Amino acid sequence: MINRQRISDEFARQASIDSPSFKESKIADYLADRFKQLGAEVEFDEAGPVIGSESGNMIARFPGSKEGAPFMLSGHMDTVTPADGVVPILVDGVFRSKGETILGADDKAGLAEIIEAIEVLEEQNIPHVPLEVIITVCEEIGLLGAKQLDFTKLKSKWGVALDTSGINRAINSAPAANRMTIEVFGHEAHAGVEPEKGISAIQVAAKAVAKMKLGRIDEETTANIGVVEGGLAANIIPKQVTLKAEVRSHNPEKLRQQTEHMLKCLEEEVAAAVIEVNGKPIRASLALQIQDDYPMMHVPFNASVLRIFKEAGVALDRPVAIQAAGGGSDANIFNEHGIETVILGSGMEKVHSVHEEVSVDDMVQVTELLVEMIRRA
């Protein structure tokens, strides 16, 4: 049913078009032509200038050949770097780059699978509901395209995003995250001449961090201090240090609790750091910025999109898995906007590295699953 050569060629063509975040115009032009050729009506939204990208998000609409609620297929056209002069090389059925760049299977494997699925639907005259294909820009740098997507242009209430590793798996839940930038202020003094007149911001922060529960907190929650920056010179008691931290959790209450725990550790140590200089108290202090990075998603097991996913697995006589994942992706944003979206494995592996790879066999298998899902949508 799937044309192996065609999907392999499709992937190779896309991978050969460099498309790091913000520089998506070439791949956008290619995809617009390709989807028009397949019979879609194609438009771009206005996200490009807002986020500073060469392109907006692409929306391709295919009319249905049967009645029913429109179904969304999505992916992203940007890649991480290094992506300068990507040359996809196929050896023993597996695509890799030459070794100096990423391959871009994240997310071009997914895009090739969507295109092949649509080829097959038309070729085999498989009745399907209207399809809305959303291909975003700047996913890799904080879901910028999806966050600016003009959702008024979409009618779908359910769909899939092809954007995770593995095959025959659907991600139905992903954590929400808090990103924090914390500044601890101490008091500057000469470290050799009058150290008793200083409060070391680094020491205050270090004591707080030492008290924090970090890493894996429980099966739903993780926390990390990822950056510590501060101080001017070895002989100056540092007056300022900046920490960058994150907390992720599938459970909003645990997200709040862990965030508060970390802030409490900081507040306690900051409050304890008081000295007296010339009869006057000098205190450490704290400045804090918390950003909720992306909304949580949780698609219930009985959702229609998971029903057709499971049915497709049965029809193809292969085991499928529904899992939680540890990252944020466009699907979080789609779910937030009321499009019940699960993330399907596209077969891409070792992503965000120069060792990235995808096999043609896996892309064929994913496309088979996708066709069976669309047939049931």
Q: Which is nearer to Zn ion, 139 or 368 (CB)?
A: 139
Tokens at residue 46, please?
Answer: 């206005």
253: part of which helix (H) or strand (E)? helix 252-272
Q: Which is nearer to Zn ion, 113 or 269 (CB)?
A: 113
Provide CB contacts within 8 A for 258, sequence distance 6+: 213, 217, 221, 223, 247, 249
Please report, as residue ranges, which positions from 136 to 165 form the binding site for Zn ion (by CB under 5 A).
163
Please report, as residue ranges, which positions from 174 to 233 form the binding site for Zn ion (by CB under 5 A).
none
Q: Which is nearer to Zn ion, 79 or 259 (CB)?
A: 79
Neighbours of 348 (CB within 10 A): 28
The C-alpha atoms of residue 352 and residue 101 are separated, in whole angstroms, by: 10
Per the CB < 8 A criterion, the answer to whether 263 and 209 are in contact is: no
The C-alpha atoms of residue 101 and residue 150 are separated, in whole angstroms, by: 32
Task: Give least dist CB 14 to Zn ion, A.
Answer: 14
For residue 342, list its beta bridge partners: 160
Q: Which of 10, 24, 78, 349 is catalytic?
A: 78
Task: Give least dist CB 162 to Zn ion, A.
Answer: 9
Task: Give least dist CB 348 to Zn ion, A.
Answer: 8
Provide CB contacts within 8 A for 249, sequence distance 6+: 175, 176, 217, 220, 221, 222, 255, 258
Task: Give least dist CB 175 to Zn ion, A.
Answer: 16
Q: Which is nearer to Zn ion, 107 or 113 (CB)?
A: 107
Per the CB < 8 A criterion, the answer to whether 71 and 321 are in contact is: no
Q: Which is nearer to Zn ion, 8 or 79 (CB)?
A: 79
Q: Which is nearer to Zn ion, 163 or 368 (CB)?
A: 163
The answer to whether 78 contacts Zn ion (rule: CB under 5 A) is no
Q: Position of tokens 């990252």?
A: 327
Tokens at residue 133, please?
Answer: 């294909």
The C-alpha atoms of residue 377 and residue 374 are separated, in whole angstroms, by: 5
Q: Position of tokens 């990235």?
A: 356
Q: Which is nearer to Zn ion, 110 or 130 (CB)?
A: 110
Q: Is 119 among the residues known to form the active site?
A: no
Task: Give least dist CB 330 to Zn ion, A.
Answer: 8
Q: Is 229 among the residues known to form the active site?
A: no
The answer to whether 356 contacts Zn ion (rule: CB under 5 A) is no
Q: Which of 24, 132, 139, 269 is catalytic?
A: 139
Phi, psi angle pair for 345, to nearest 5°? -65, 135
Task: Give least dist CB 76 to Zn ion, A.
Answer: 6
How many residues make contact with Zn ion (CB under 5 A)?
A: 3
**How does strand 357-359 pair with strand 215-218?**
unpaired
Task: Give least dist CB 106 to Zn ion, A.
Answer: 4
* Per-residue interface string for the shown chain with Zn ion, residues 91-120, x marking contact by CB under 5 A: ---------------xx-------------
Please, what's the b/e burial string for 151-178 (b: 16 or more CB within 10 A of its CB; e: otherwise)?
A: eeebebbbbbbbbbbbbbbbbbbbbbbb
Q: Which residues contact Zn ion by CB under 5 A?
A: 106-107, 163
Residues annotated as catalytic are: 78, 139
